[in-house]
Structure 1
């Protein structure tokens, strides 16, 4: 019964949007606006696939696993940067935490490493590879962040850190 009511409500709403010129034009404007959004980068770049062991503590760049150089990030072209001039080097197997006041950029750095937002200036290198040259799938399936809000977890910590079960357990 609930499903039928939901379908009926959705149908009524759709009909109202189609028939009411005031709301109908708004919905068309929204669709046109979404069509103009820039496309997300490709998930896989065939000519530039990262090695199967990437990132690796035995890779070519043994000094630092993650290097952030002169990073600047904007959430929109017309607003000022939320991060600028960020320099960061993280060694292989190093565990880090950002201990700052709220809204100091730790989430933006995390989103930049996962390429949820691309830098407007500077670069991020992981194990010697510029992440803007890597496909999103190659990048995101190999990088894991533990969020500060534990309520986001479902399942075990292991399932969240290795959701595709690509790492075998060693006794």
Structure 2
């Protein structure tokens, strides 16, 4: 399994042959969405990544690799898509960001977060495994580090065929 470090975050790339990124933009709730050019699952978000780096420095990559390699990272698509919304700062300007995500079944996420929590000596929330398909207002998307944050950002569940 390959993971990629994006600044302080670590992601699991989704191979395009398994799940191709959306080919075109979409409209939903009077908003124009841009497709994500590559699909991934965030395993370690930016804030947690910074904490791990500050705590473990040069040994962080090896520690994470050991925890990651002990697990099976296969996932199943759920077909359950959500529209998310939050305020974000991009290039010094406050914007309203929207994302369309699909929740996935990723059994390895909880044990991986437990392993990271043991390294840090505390319990970590388990991020809801998902793949961001579209964004509007903020190209980076919306970080969803816990079930509580997902509930806070969720606007609504999408109907089959949405976005158009």
Measured against the shorter chain, the TM-score band is under 0.3
Mark the structure with the bigger radius of gyration. Answer: 1
Structure 2 length-normalised TM: 0.22
- 1 or 2, which has the higher helix percentage? 1
- TM-score, normalised by the number of residues in structure 1: 0.21
